[in-house]
Structure 1
Amino acid sequence: MKKKNVPPIAKQIPKELIAHNDVRIDNYFWLNDRENPEVIDYLEQENAYCDNMLKHTEQFQKDLFEEMKSRIKEDDQSVPYKYNGYWYIVKFETGKNYPIYIRRKESLNAPDELLFDCNKMAEGQSYFKLTGISISPDNTKVAYALDTIGRRQYTIHIKDLKTDKLFPERIVNATGSSTWANDNKTLFYTLKNEKTLRSEKVFKHTLGADTKSDKLVYFEKDDTFNVSVYKSKSRKFIIISSHSTLTNEYQVLNADKPNEMFTLFQERIRGLEYSISHFQDHFYILTNLDNATNFKLMKTNVSNTAIEHWGEVIPHRKEVMLEGIDIFKEFLVISERENGLNKIRIKRWDNTDDYYLPFDNETYTTYTSTNVDFDTTILRYGYNSLTTPASIIDFDMVNKTKDIKKEQEVLGGKFDKKNYVSERIWATSDDGTKIPMSVVHHKDTKKNKDTPLLIYAYGSYGHTIDPYFSTIRLSLLDRGFIYVIAHIRGGEYLGRPWYENGRLLLKRNTFTDFISCSQHLININYTSSNHLYAMGGSAGGLLMGSIINMTQNLYNGVVAQVPFVDVITTMLDDSIPLTTGEYDEWGNPNDSAYYNYMKSYSPYDNVEKQDYPNLLVTTGLHDSQVQYWEPAKWVAKLRTYKTNGNLLLLKTNMDAGHGGASGRFESLKEDALEFAFLLDLEGITS
């Protein structure tokens, strides 16, 4: 019988992988088969070993879970928003894991109409996700989608809201989103490729008809593109979007005429990014046309949408990134980013007023929220910071007054935002670039070489991790941890060039930026290597894998969540979900230049005989984004290579996918495990 405190050693079956006359030997390729009982057995052995090595923290994990849960208001509801004559609300009830969707007709005092009670719908399911709620224009029907596996392959259902009965049709293997034409009987939706899970087809369904007779409206042949379908905020157009990392194309259709043909808005040009919003006689276009790296705003008449008809509304600015717009009857609202900070600009169409909402620190996040109504002077936006819980605010754009509709309650009686301190500091990377970091800690935490510090980053796809408030994070801050978000290249914190300088053949900047930030925190005496920890997930897990190969003894512990670590093998396999759409991010390794560059940083390919920090790796058996075998193979290889006695733990959720456990509180158990792992390394056990 296997000893519980002895790590499982995966068997080695060498497999030659050859590309560009380069031979890689993968001893653990066999783990790429979730139907193989030996694979499942190995994952379960790793789970048992992880549980055993952290057994002494079991009660602490439970305490952390209860502590995190106790801060969350269980009996809670969203701020209502009005759409097409109804107020929509999402409620949570005490002791229940899933949301309840309701609406009220015209008045908030009207009786509740139940749309969905996800608690009842989730009974008997180990995983449950409802998404893609789409109400018909006459308010009598709702389309929605369910996933009960965690692989993001949804089944669309349609419910009659007058009778509360389901229509018989089921649309399987969908992306989940769908949109109604204005005739209340035609539903447009998107289907995935069953193998690659790429969103590739748009279909049209007529209510009551057999789904086998659904009409294919559009097939996206280019396997580096995904496709989606939605309705404009004006409700006048059905829009098909084809999008890759760096290129967009749209087709539009009058929503009153669902049986006519879509017309091309502007054909794709490689490297041309644009998005469209409709208002009156014009489409407004956010675009990088003519080297507008940080984007500009243009417009064109609805009858002449090709690029030669586009006219400039807001020019490109080198220091300001244009991130999005919200259109209202009297106002244009512009979301911008300057020097890393979110800004909201409000401008009257007649140019009689043009101003910014005021914000006063460097570690906040603000964004426009649910604004579905055209004919209103109220802008709804969200605000939070590293020290301030999230608020939803209604701002009167005429009177310039604000009404805080909801401020996130932090229960438990212990939280006071005056007890926490935040700041923004800058490190210098290898090439001289200044890298910003957002920092938060308890006001009583002293910064010195004995202070535990957790640094987090993502750094890919232009996705920005803004400084945001977290009730979960308080469990670290209240125990003396400093928490840092490193705004490394590969995100868009400092505008679009920040992303461009952290992808493709500049990807290594992402890793060296993170290491430079880590080293800077030690140099300014915020912590030391003995107390420095790092965390990242998905592409941020790739970051974790790279930095521990590139350094020795810089970190005491690392948490790699669902990490993308077998870069070359995955990117060479175009049958794996998402691969082909990723070429613009990582490069196509069928090209030797990209192959060789990827090989220089791919965590799995660069494991060496060296010391590694204490490591907790998490994954989900049904993950469609990063397949479970990547972290499983990585851990198996690390077991045979690492030269010190630090912990190496793999935890696989056998019931979930990329997002982890479903349910409101189940995911807190995963947070509690990760925090217990980190705190235990610091000798903090309660």
Structure 2
Amino acid sequence: MTSAHPSGPETTARPSIRSHHGDDVVDDYEWLRAKEDPDVLAHLEAENAYTDERTAHLAPLRQRIFDEIKGRTLETDLSVPTRQGAWWYYGRTVEGKQYGIHCRAPLAAEDDWTPPSLSPGVDVPGEVVLLDGNLEADGHEFFSLGSFDVSTDGTRLLYGIDTEGDERYTLRIRDLRTGTDLDDVIEGTSAGACFSPDGSAVVYTTVDDAWRPDTVWLHEVGTDASGDTTLFHEPDERYWVGAGFTRSERYLVIEAGSSITTEEYLVPASDLRAEPRSIWPRREGVEYSATHAIVGGEDVLYILHNDGALDFEVVRVAASDPTGAREIVLPHRPGRRLLDVSAFRDWAVVSYRRDGLARMGTLSYETNDVHELDFPEELYTAGAGGNPEWAPPLIRLGYGSFVTPGTVYDYDVATGEFLLRKRQSVLGGYDPADYEQRRDWATASDGTRVPVSLIWKRSFGEPGAGAPRPVHLYGYGSYEHSIEPGFSVARLSMLDRGVVFAIAHVRGGGEMGRQWYEDGKLARKRNTFTDFITVARHLVDIGATSPALLVAEGGSAGGLLMGAVANLAPELFAGILADVPFVDALTTILDPSLPLTVIEWDEWGDPLHDAEVYAYMKSYTPYENVRPGVDYPRILAVTSLNDTRVYYVEPAKWVARLRAVGADALLKCEMVAGHGGVSGRYNAWHQRAFELAWMLDVLGLADA
């Protein structure tokens, strides 16, 4: 078992052998995978107790940071109402309450597209509370809402709740005329269930034993779930499935996708039991997504695809014959990574990336021209969202930057006017002019220029213009996921203490287009790690910081990045924060029975069947490469017992091995939480305060 001593809980070695491709690996800590074993649970509790002991001196700082986050947040607030049908839908938060309250109020008139002006704490005429997360969470340590949909006629609410953190949701249906739930209860669903357009049925998905969404179901409202109909099942373990209705409500679209291949199916909304009709048969390496529109009275599909188009192109086809003639609407243009096309009655919204930033524009059905929306800052993030209506005159979009708090606009397509609906309130005298942001470029050894986004408080001076500054460097670099330069209230607690925040936009992410992603996956995965090291060295070389003043952070696949750079360049960092880190990747990817493993082979390779992939992954996986004689930076690993994406065992094993070679490594395991960490906003603030306090301590700023 474990026993506490000054260097932390001692993890007993219980050797097991992992054998693949003629390679026998002794793993002393694989026994920690037995989640129900009392010894394992006792070990995790001992780790938590040790972390609490080691960080006890930071309690006052944690409280100060929590108070700062809380003090800058307008706790009683409302979201901008979204129009759907005859109602405005919005959310409320109330001071002292952990979870949001979902509400609606009736339209003033049928042609009303101006959201009502709402005030915190003030009742709205005709307001109806649809669901109060605080009531639903009562009696549970964890609460997450995975599905939330209102029927088109506004009479029924569909909602799905997870109280364990394992991302399996129980669906229920509420009659909004009476406020009571129907007898319908559907257990073990994925997120994202929805009503059929007429509200008589529910479409939902379930997962297999490996946590892969594999089956789409149809549930008739008012019937027992045992009689639900299977609409689609995907037997290939590399593919996940999802389903949703087009904005036009003409079709149900079922998608089966792997990391590199897609096939979508159409089902007429008027006959949901009809055989799903493939839009384009799947071809290995071809990804696509379709959106339905009506142009010139004809049902058409706008299809975004990468067939012979690395950064994707958009074509238009007849919905009745999608494999027939294609009209190229937006041709492939290297350096412009097309991301999404979303069709409305009169035009479409196109989202794309160029020069490392998110862009968006309106697409004319008549001319195929795109009118790009212009945003004023050098660094920003922007995207459409909250647009359920088929024929609006306005586009709802979100905007923000490192210095500009989250902002909601309605964009008038006819006039080109941006209508400001709300800007996130930041209390305590926040002034954007006190902070500055910029884009830097670091050059890798192969000549690749890696973008770096920075923000700092002006009063401390520009990074690189004076003495080295403490720097908090963040990275991810997987799944073509882009880390955007967005606003953070919690980050102000670091900036106001003189810390510079930076994002290393490393290869493997999507910031610079599809090739940027391709150059950081599979047999080129090491580029992700070396790019991060390149950025860290760049910041040191320009005098912005020094290794003693540099702390790194990454989560999930970004946690793998953290573990890799700890092994490759430990001398560059004073500390590393790894959140739900994928640090035992090879062990996981070798086991197809584990959640999501087979799906992940397209991202990392298949080490189970390919000896070269096995050897390459073994060369960089953090747990495999912890070695004695290395002066590791201080490390904090944060995980959750019920995480189904990255099992708690990975950081638990990693910390045990680090500590066995003398590293100063801490493990914090939330015993009731999932991949996203704790639930509830106050709990989340406390969690972030814990992490920020630890980083400030590493940087020598615990008294700041």
TM-score range, shorter-chain basis? over 0.9
Residue 121 of structure 2: aligned partner: none
Task: Identify the residue that residue 220 of structure 1 maps to in structure 2.
Answer: 234
Partner in structure 1 of residue 621 of structure 2? 602
Write out aligned runs for 1:274-673 (5 A).
Answer: 274-280=288-294, 281-289=299-307, 291-306=308-323, 308-351=324-367, 354-413=370-429, 415-446=430-461, 447=463, 448-590=466-608, 591-609=610-628, 610-642=630-662, 647-673=664-690
Deviation track 1:213-238 (CA, whole Å, cap 9, x = no partner) reads 11112111001111111111111111
Letter in 1 for 2:492: L
- Counterpart position of 2:245: 231
Question: Which SS does the other structure have where 2:544 is aligned?
Answer: coil
Rounded to whole Å, the distance in 2 between the matches of 1:178 and 1:268 is: 25
Number of the residue aligned with 1:9: 10
| 1:181–1:256 Cα contact (<8 Å) kept | no
- 1:605-658 per-residue CA deviation (whole Å, 9 max, x = no partner) reads 00011110011110000011100000000000111113x6xx311100011111
Deviation, 1:348, is 2.8
Q: Deviations over 1:450-481 (max 9, x none)?
A: 41001101000000001111111000000000
Q: What residue number does 2:33 align with?
A: 32
- In structure 1, distance between residues paired with 2:647 and 2:36: 14
Note the C-alpha offset of 1:346.
2.3
User: SS where residue 79 of structure 1 aligns?
Assistant: coil
AA of the residue aligned to 1:230: G
Using the TM superposition, give the Cα deviation of residue 12 of structure 1 relative to its aligned residue in structure 2, in angstroms.
0.3
SS in 2 for 1:665: helix
1:258-281 Cα distance to aligned partner (Å, 9 max, x none): 232222222111111000100011
Alpha-carbon RMSD across the aligned residues, in angstroms, is: 1.5
The answer to which of 104-113 and 402-411 deviates more is 104-113
Q: Is the 8 A contact 2:555 2:578 kept in 1?
A: yes
Q: In the alignment, what sits opposite 1:62? A: 63
**1:321/1:338 contact within 8 Å kept:** yes
User: Once the 2 structures are TM-superposed, how far is the Cα of residue 91 of structure 1 from its aligned partner?
Assistant: 0.8
CA contact (8 A) 2:551 2:698 kept: no
**What stretches of structure 1 move > 6 A for 4+ residues in a row?**
none
Q: Distance in 2 between matches of 1:86 and 1:309?
A: 40
- 1:568 CA drift (Å): 1.1
Distance 1:556 1:212 in 2: 56
CA contact (8 A) 2:474 2:502 kept: yes
1:218 & 1:270 partners in 2: Cα distance?
A: 20
Q: C-alpha separation between the residues in 1 aligned to 2:288 and 2:3?
A: 58
Give me the whole-angstrom Cα distance separating, in 2, the residues matched to 1:255 and 1:649: 53
Q: Say if 1:352 and 1:171 are closer, same or farther in 2 by CA, change over 3 A.
A: closer
- Residues 11-57 of structure 1 show CA distances to partners (whole Å, capped at 9, x for unaligned) of 00111100000111100010001100100111111111111111111
Q: What's the secondary structure of 1:151's corresponding residue? A: coil
- For 2:70, give the aligned amino acid: K
Q: Which residue of structure 1 aligns with residue 205 of structure 2?
A: 190
| Bigger mean CA offset, 221-230 vs 131-140 | 131-140
- TM-superposed CA distance for 1:144, in Å, is 1.0
Q: Deviations over 1:382-413 (max 9, x none)?
A: 11111111110111111111111000110122
Question: Quick one: distance in 2 between partners of 1:184 and 1:356?
Answer: 36
Is 1:133 matched up with 2:139? no
Correspondence for 1:253: 267
Pairwise CA distance, 1:92: 0.6
Letter in 2 for 1:464: S
Q: Does 1:80 align with 2:81?
A: yes
CA deviation vs aligned residue, 1:310-358 (integer Å, no higher than 9, x gap): 3211100012111112323322222121111222222332339753222
Which residue of structure 1 aligns with residue 112 of structure 2? none
- Conserved in 1, the CA contact under 8 Å of 2:63 and 2:689? yes
Q: In 2, Cα distance between the equivalents of 1:583 and 1:338? A: 29
1:143 and 2:158 aligned: yes
For 2:374 and 2:102, the matched residues in 1 are separated by 34
Alpha-carbon deviations, 1:646-674, whole Å to 9, x = none?
A: x3111000111110110122111111111
SS in structure 1 of the partner of residue 193 of structure 2: strand
What is the one-letter code of the residue matched to 2:160?
A: A
Matched residue type, 1:221: P
Letter in 2 for 1:677: W
- The letter for the 2-side match of 1:438 is S
SS of match in other structure, 1:167:
strand
Q: State the TM-score, normalized to the length of structure 1.
A: 0.97
- Measure, in 1, the Cα distance between the counterparts of 2:66 and 2:173: 37
How big is the shift at 1:370? 1.4
User: CA separation in 1, counterparts of 2:290 and 2:581?
Assistant: 34
More displaced, 380-389 or 270-279?
380-389
Q: Which of 268, 283, 287 pairs up with 1:269?
A: 283
Question: In the alignment, residue 161 of structure 1 is paired with which amino acid?
Answer: L
Kindly provide the amino acid, as one letter, of the partner of residue 54 in structure 1.
T
Q: Residue 587 of structure 2: SS of its match in structure 1?
A: helix
Change (3 A) 1:211 1:546: same
Aligned AA (1:510): T
- Give 3-state SS (helix, strand or coil) of 2:360's partner: strand
Secondary structure (helix, strand or coil) at the match of 1:612 reads coil
CA–CA distance in structure 2, aligned partners of residues 139 and 355 of structure 1: 34
Distance in structure 2 (CA, Å) of the matches to 1:252 and 1:331: 21
Instruction: Please point out which of 141, 159, 170 is paired with 2:174.
Output: 159
* CA distance in structure 1 between the partners assigned to 2:3 and 2:37 by the alignment: 21
Letter in 1 for 2:650: E
1:449 Cα shift?
4.8
The C-alpha deviation readout for 1:407-452, integer Å capped at 9, x for no partner, is: 0110122x11000011000001121100000000000223345410
Is the Cα–Cα contact under 8 Å of residues 144 and 176 in structure 1 kept in the other structure?
no
Q: Note closer, same or farther for the CA distance 1:354–1:576 as it changes in structure 2 (3 Å cut).
A: closer
Deviation at 1:131, TM superposition (A): 2.5
CA distance in 1, matches of 2:482, 2:659: 33
8 A Cα contact 2:548 2:699, kept in partner: no
Q: How many residues align?
A: 679
Shift of 1:377: 2.2
Question: Separation in 1 of the partners of 2:694 and 2:398?
Answer: 33
Q: 1:638 to 1:377 in 2, by over 3 A?
A: same
Aligned-pair identity (%): 38
Contact 2:148–2:194 at 8 Å: present in 1 too? no
Q: 1:682 offset after TM fit, Å?
A: 2.7
* 1:438–1:467 contact (8 Å) kept in structure 2: yes
Give the Cα–Cα distance (whole angstroms) in 2 for the partners of residues 83 and 379 of structure 1: 13
Query: Is the 8 Å Cα contact of residues 5 and 53 (structure 1) preserved in structure 2?
Result: no
Equivalent residue for 1:177, pick from 160, 177, 192: 192
Amino acid paired to 1:466: E
8 A contact 1:328–1:377 mirrored in 2: no
